[in-house]
Amino acid sequence: MQPRNNPRLMTTSAQNTITCRNLWQVFGEKAEQRLADALSRSNDPNDVSQSLLSHNLIPAVRNVSFDVKQGELFVIMGLSGSGKSTLIRCLSRLVEVTSGQISIEGEDILAASKKRMTELRRSTLGMVFQHFGLFPHMSVIDNVAFPLKVSGLSKRERHKHVLPIIHMVGLEGRKHAFPRELSGGQRQRVGIARSLAGDCSVWFLDEPFSALDPLIRRQLQDEFLEVRRKFNKTIIFITHDITEALKLADRIAIMRDGEIVQIGTPAEIVLSPVNAYVREFSKDVATGRHATVASVMQKGVQGDLESAPRVQSTMSIDAALAMSSAHLAPLAVEDDTGQLIGTVSPKDLADAALRDAS
Amino acid sequence: MGRLFQELKTDFKLTILWSIAGLGLLVLLLETSAPWLVNWPDSFQLPLTSWVGDALGAGLETVKPLARAFSGLMSYPMRWTNMLFVSAPWSLTLGIVTALAWYVGGWRLALLSLVGLGFVLGSGYWIKGMNTLALVSVSVPLALLLGLAFGILAHKVQPIKSALQAVLDIMQTIPTFAYLTPLLLLFGFGPVVGLIASAIYATPPMARNVILGLERVDPEIKDAAIMSGATAFQRLFFVELPAAKSQIMVGVNQCLMASLSMVIIAAVIGGFDDIGWEVLLTMRKAQFGQSLLAGLVIVVFAILIDRISAALSQERNEHNWRIAFFIAAAGILVSLIGLGPLSNPEDLHLFEPVAAAVDARLGVFTAENGASLDAVKNSIVFYAMLPLRIGLDGAVLVFTWGFQWTTAHSVWFFAIALVLALGLVSRGAFKAAALLIIVSIVLETGISELPWIFVLSLSAGLGWSAGGRALALLIVALLLSILIAGLWERALLSLYLSGISVFTCAVLGSAIGLLCVVSPMAWKIVRPLCDMLQTIPLFVFLIPVLMFFQIGEFSAFIAICAYAIVPMIRYTQHGLSNTPPELLEAAVMSGASDWQIMRDLRIPYAVPTLLLGLNQTILYAFAMLVIAALIGTTGLGQSIYLALGKADVGLGVSAGAAMAILALIADRIVQGFAQERKKALGL
C-alpha cells in the first residue's frame, strides 16, 4: 500500500484540502426557505437561530466555517447534541446541506451530481462509523472489499487488493469470519480497513473509538496514528473525548449547540480557552501533559544561564516540572499525628509522577 | 463432474437435493413396473376417517349432555343481547355508537360511524346486521377472557408455554369449517355453534398478544415491583399487565376482527338469520347486486369495529365528552319522540335500485366482455393452472395447445432438462442444476399426480435443510398419516391450488412491495388498499370474484390471491425499508449506487422478513382455501365443506387435520429457513 500518486493532490498540497463556509444544517419543514428568510433579515447567527427555533425548526449546524490543510488531522470535538455528527454528514453529503459552501480538493461538492458523489466516494472519500456499520451478511474480506465491488472490480482483483489492508489491521487470520463473530475492537478494524480499501485521500472518522473499551481504544488510537503516518491523508476526526482529541489532533475545533466555539492547536485549547465552556472541557485534562515548555517560557536570554539546568522547548510541562523539582531539597514526611517519620527526595516524587503520566 | 462429487461429499444439503432429483427420475422410469411407488397402494390404507368419526362420535356423545346444558345456559345471554340489539331503536344505537366514535376518535371517526351505520340502515339489513353484532358481542368477552387467561398462564408457567403455543397454533390452523361439524353435533343447530366457533377462532390472537406484551415488559420494572414488596398477584395486575397494555389492546382489536369474521363464516350452517346468511343466500341465487350490498354491510361493520377499537388502544387524546354526550342525547331524544314511518328499519330499501342497477350493468358487462374475460380465464387455466395440476403430459392436448403430448415428448423434455442441468453443473451451479431437474419433474407430472415417495422425500429434504432431522421426521410422520388415511389425492389437490396461489402472491407481492420502496407515491396508494383488504372478512372476497368469473377453480384462485397477497406486500415493503441507517450510510460512503444498495444490502438484509411474509401468505392462502370451497374447489376444502353438510364428523375432522398438517409443514419449513437466515445475519 503506497500513498496514491494523485497529480491534482500534488498541485493543491500547499492549499486547503477542505474548506467549509457559512454552513447551516436545519431540520424541519420548509427549512431551506425559512433559513433563507432569516438570513436575509439578519447577519447575526444567534438571531437567525432564534428565528428558526421559533418556527419549530432545529438548526443542528449553525454558520460553521473552517479550513483543513492537506495532510492535516482536524479533530471536531463536542458533547452529544452539539452537531458534530451532523457536520461530518454534511461534509460527506450523507445529509443534504441547507445552506453554505463546502469544497473538497478544489471541487464544490454541494454542486456535485449524485453520480459524481458516488464517484467521489469510490475514489476520494472514506468514512469510519461509530457503530462500525458492518454488513452482517458479508465476511470480513467481503466487507472490506465492498467499495471495490461496487466500483466493478472482479472478485479476484478486489481480494488481491484488500489482503494487504486486512494484514495491516491485523485481521488476516479472521478474513472469512462474519461480523457477529468478532469483538468490538476487531469490528472497528474491519470498518477502518473498509474505509481504506478505496485509497481515499480524504478520510472521515465519526467517533470511531467511542464504542470501545478504554484499553482497546488506546490501542486503536496508537494504530490509527501509525496508519496516519503511513498514508498522506487529510483527516476529519469526530470525538466527544477531549483526551482523545488532544492526543491525536493537529488542530481541534470545539463545537457547542451547532456552532464552532474555538479552533486551535491542542496547546492553544488547553492554555488559552476562549470562554468558560472550553475551559470546562480542559479542566479535567492535566494541562502539563499537553502543553510544552515553549508555550509558557519567557523569551529572551537575561543574566547568566550557562550553569542553569536545561530543558528542551518541546518538552511537556509535566516533564520540565519533574526535572526542575529534582533540584530542590528533600522534604520531611509526617504521619497523621504530626510525628516526623522520614524524608522523601523530590526526584523520586517526580519519577513516580512521570511514570503515571506516561 | 468431479467437483460435483467432491462437493456432494462435504455439502450435506446438496446431497439431499441431488438424491431427491435422482429419486424423482428413478420413480418416473419405474412407473410402469412398480406403480406402488407412484400411487400409494390401497391395501396400505386404513379407514382412519371412519375410526376418527366413531371415536369422536362416541366421545362427543358422552359430553353431549354437558354441551347441551352449556348451550342452554348460553342461550340466555344470547337471547338478552339479541333482544337488546334488535329491539333498541336504530336512532339510539346510531347515537351511542357515534358518540363513542367521537369520544375516542374525534369528528372523522364520528362521521365515519354516522355514514357507515346510515348505509346499513338504508340497505334494509339493520335487523340482520344487529343479529350478527349481538353474536359478536357475546363471543368477544368469552374470547377475551379465555385469551387473557391463556396468555397469563403461558407467561407465568414456563413449562406449559410451548404446549399452549402448540394448542394456539392448532386452533388457528385447523380450517374454520372443520370444527363446525363436531360443534354442530355437540351443541345442536343454532347460534350457539357460531358463538363457540367464533370464540375458539378469536382466542389465539388475544392470547398471543398477551404473551408478547408480558414478555416485552422491561425486566427492570418487574424488579422494581418486587423490591417495592409487591406480591406476584399485585405485580401482575398493577405492573405487568398495565405495562403491556398497548400490546394487549392490539390483541383486543385482532380478537374483535377474528370474531366478526368467524361469526359470518359460521353462517353457512344457517339458522340465525344474520348478514352472513344473507350474503350466502343471495350469492347462491346469483343476485350479485344484493349480495354486494350485504357484503358491504359486513365491510362497514368490520371497518367501524377496527377503527374504533384501534382508537381505543391508542393513548387517548381527549375529545370533548360534552359533544359525545350531546350526540348520544340526540339519539335518545329521537328514539323517545318516535320514528313514525321510519320505526321499522327492515322496511327501508334505499339501495335496492342500486343493487338492481348493478345486476343489470353486470349483465350488460358480461354480455359485452364475457368473451375477453373468458379468454383471460381460459388462457390462465389451460396454460398455467392445468399443466401444474395434471402435468404437461396430461394438459397438453390438441384442443388447447394444438398438439398431443406423447411419451416421445416426455423423453425429449427430460433430455433437454438433463442437458441444461449438465451445463449448470459444468459452470459450478450445482444447486441450481438439481433444482432444475426437480422443477422439470413437477412440470411434466403435475402436482396432483406426483409420486407420493417423491413428495415425501422432497418435503422431508426441505424440512431437514430448514430445521434438522427432527423436523424431517415430523414431516414424514405427518404426511404418512395423510397417506394411510386415504386423503392423499385430495391433499395434493389442495397443495396444488395453494401452491400456485402462494407462488403468484410471492412474485406479485414482492414486486409490488419493491415498487412501494422505490416510489413512496405507490406506497401511498397501496397502503390503504392493503388496510382495506385486511379488514374485509374472508367471505366477502368471494362476491366480486364470482360476479366476473363464475363458480370454479379459477375464481377460487383469484379470491385466494386477493386475500393472501397482502402480507407479502407489507413484509416486503417493511423489510426493504428498514435497513439500519448506519449500514446504509456505510454503503453510500463506499460508493454504492441505489441499485447496488438494493441488491447487496437491502435485499439480503431483508431476507428473514421476506420469509416471514411468505409464511404469513401461506397461512392466509390455506385459510382462504377452505372458504373458497364454497365457490368450487376440489381437494380437502371440498371434503370439509361436504362433511359439514352431511354432519360427517370423521371426514370433516380428518380432512381438517390434513389441511392443518399441510399448513403446519409449510409454516415450519419457512420459519426454519427464516431462523437460519436471522442467525446468519446475527440478529
Which residue's entry shows cell 378469536? B202
Res. B339: pLDDT tops 50 = yes
Backbone angles phi, psi at A125, to 5 degrees: -105, 140
Model pLDDT for residues B214-224, shown as the tens digit of each residue = 988 888 777 77
Q: Which three cell numbers stand for residue B166?
A: 402448540
Pick from B589, B680, B683: which is nearest to A121 by CB? B589
Do B582 and A151 count as a contact with CB atoms less than 8 A apart? Answer: no
User: How far does the CA of residue B672 sit from the closest CA of chain A (Å)?
Assistant: 18
Pick from B591, B601, B683: which is nearest to A135 by CB? B601
- Quote the pLDDT of residue A6: 41
User: How far does the CA of residue A84 sit from the closest CA of chain B (Å)?
Assistant: 16
* Cβ neighbours of residue A165 closer than 8 Å, sequence gap 6 or more: A1, A144, A193, A196, A197
Res. A43: pLDDT tops 50 = yes
Chain A positions in Cβ-Cβ contact with residue B593 (cut-off 8 Å):
118, 150
Do B591 and A136 count as a contact with CB atoms less than 8 A apart? Answer: no
Q: Which of A228, A171, A182 is nearest to A3 (CA)?
A: A228
* Cβ neighbours of residue B327 closer than 8 Å, sequence gap 6 or more: B95, B98, B99, B102, B110
Nearest residue of A to residue B677, measured between CA atoms = A137
User: How far does the CA of residue B313 sit from the closest CA of chain A (Å)?
Assistant: 29
- Quote the pLDDT of residue B121: 87
Model pLDDT for residues A229-278, shown as the tens digit of each residue = 988 899 999 999 988 998 899 999 999 999 999 999 888 888 888 988 88
CB pairs under 8 A between A and B: 77
pLDDT more than 70, % of chain B:
97
Looking at every residue in chain A, the average pLDDT score rounds to 86
Pick from A120, A150, A194: which is nearest to B596 by CB? A150
Res. B88: pLDDT tops 70 = yes
Res. B270: pLDDT tops 70 = no
Lowest mean pLDDT, pick from A259-263, A350-354, B11-15, B527-531: A350-354
- Quote the pLDDT of residue B355: 79
Q: Which of A95, A115, A134, A137 to mutate to test the interface with B (most CBs of B within 10 A)?
A: A137
Chain A positions in Cβ-Cβ contact with residue B585 (cut-off 8 Å):
89, 94, 127, 129, 133
Highest mean pLDDT among A325-329, B163-167, B253-257, B320-324: B253-257
Do B683 and A136 count as a contact with CB atoms less than 8 A apart? Answer: yes
Res. A282: pLDDT tops 80 = no
- Quote the pLDDT of residue B342: 63
Nearest residue of B to residue A136, measured between CA atoms = B681
Model pLDDT for residues B345-394, shown as the tens digit of each residue = 666 777 778 778 888 888 888 888 888 888 888 889 888 888 889 888 88
Pick from A137, A178, A198: which is nearest to B591 by CB? A198
User: How far does the CA of residue A133 sit from the closest CA of chain B (Å)?
Assistant: 5
| pTM of the complete model beyond 0.90 | no
Q: Is A122 on the interface with B (CB under 8 A)?
A: yes
pLDDT more than 90, % of chain B:
28
- Quote the pLDDT of residue A1: 38
* Cβ neighbours of residue B660 closer than 8 Å, sequence gap 6 or more: B170, B173, B174, B175, B178
Looking at every residue in chain B, the average pLDDT score rounds to 86
Chain A positions in Cβ-Cβ contact with residue B605 (cut-off 8 Å):
135-137
Q: Where in chain B is the domain with CATH 1.10.3720.10?
A: 47-81+136-284, 486-683
Pick from B583, B590, B605: which is nearest to A150 by CB? B590
Nearest residue of B to residue A133, measured between CA atoms = B583
Residues B566 and B527: their CA atoms lie apart, in Å, by 10
- Quote the pLDDT of residue A2: 40
Model pLDDT for residues B428-448, shown as the tens digit of each residue = 888 899 999 999 999 998 898
Q: Is A94 on the interface with B (CB under 8 A)?
A: yes
Chain B positions in Cβ-Cβ contact with residue A135 (cut-off 8 Å):
583, 586-587, 600-601, 604-605
Chain B positions in Cβ-Cβ contact with residue A123 (cut-off 8 Å):
591
- Domain B47-81+136-284: CATH class, spelled out: mainly alpha
Pick from A94, A132, A179: which is nearest to B588 by CB? A94
Res. A304: pLDDT tops 80 = no
- Quote the pLDDT of residue B539: 79
Res. B665: pLDDT tops 50 = yes
Res. A162: pLDDT tops 60 = yes
Model pLDDT for residues B564-595, shown as the tens digit of each residue = 999 999 999 999 998 999 999 999 999 999 99
Is there a contact between B617 and B572 (Cβ–Cβ < 8 Å)? no
Could you please report the per-residue DSSP string of B418-485?
A: HHHHHHHHHTT-HHHHHHHHHHHHHHHH-GGG--HHHHHHHHHHHHHHHHHHHHHHHHHHHHHHHHHT
Res. A9: pLDDT tops 60 = no
Residue B317 vs residue A85, higher pLDDT: A85
Res. A355: pLDDT tops 70 = no
Question: Long-range CB contacts (< 8 A, 24+ apart) of A345-350?
Answer: A349/A325, A350/A321, A350/A322, A350/A323, A350/A325, A350/A326
Do B591 and A131 count as a contact with CB atoms less than 8 A apart? Answer: no
Is there a contact between A205 and A238 (Cβ–Cβ < 8 Å)? yes
pLDDT more than 70, % of chain A:
94
Is there a contact between B176 and B265 (Cβ–Cβ < 8 Å)? yes
Chain A positions in Cβ-Cβ contact with residue B582 (cut-off 8 Å):
129-133
Residue B330 vs residue A119, higher pLDDT: A119
Q: Which three cell numbers stand for residue B238?
A: 398493577
- Quote the pLDDT of residue B340: 59
Chain A positions in Cβ-Cβ contact with residue B578 (cut-off 8 Å):
none
Break chain A into its structural domains and give their ranges.
7-19+69-124+200-285, 310-357
Question: What band does A11 get if pLDDT is binned at 50, 70 and 90?
Answer: very low
Neighbour-count burial for A26-48, b at 16+ CB within 10 Å, e otherwise: beeeebeebbeebbeeeeebeeb
Average pLDDT over residues B609-637: 87
- Quote the pLDDT of residue B583: 93
Do B591 and A122 count as a contact with CB atoms less than 8 A apart? Answer: yes
Could you please report the per-residue DSSP string of A225-287?
A: HHHHHHS--EEEEEES-HHHHHHH-SEEEEEETTEEEEEE-HHHHHHS-SSHHHHHHHHTS-H
Chain A positions in Cβ-Cβ contact with residue B587 (cut-off 8 Å):
135, 146, 150
Is there a contact between B97 and B113 (Cβ–Cβ < 8 Å)? yes
Do B588 and A136 count as a contact with CB atoms less than 8 A apart? Answer: no
- Quote the pLDDT of residue B190: 76
Residue B615 vs residue A356, higher pLDDT: B615
Alpha-carbon separation of residue A149 from A163, A198, A337, B584, B599 (angstroms): 14, 10, 74, 16, 12
Q: Between the CA atoms of B161, B167, B173 and B176, what dihedral angle is there, to the nearest 10 degrees?
A: -140
Is there a contact between A271 and A280 (Cβ–Cβ < 8 Å)? no
Which residue's entry shows cell 379468454? B375
Nearest residue of B to residue A194, measured between CA atoms = B590
Q: Which three cell numbers stand for residue A220?
A: 486503536
Res. A71: pLDDT tops 50 = yes
Burial (Cβ within 10 Å: 0-12, 13-18, ≥19) of residue B281: middle
Q: Return the CATH architecture of domain B486-683.
A: Orthogonal Bundle (1.10)
Q: Is B229 on the interface with A (CB under 8 A)?
A: no
Res. A308: pLDDT tops 60 = yes
Residue B609 vs residue B45, higher pLDDT: B609
- Which of B 576-595 lie inside 8 A of A, CB atoms? 582-583, 585-593
According to CATH, the superfamily of the domain at A7-19+69-124+200-285 is P-loop containing nucleotide triphosphate hydrolases (3.40.50.300)
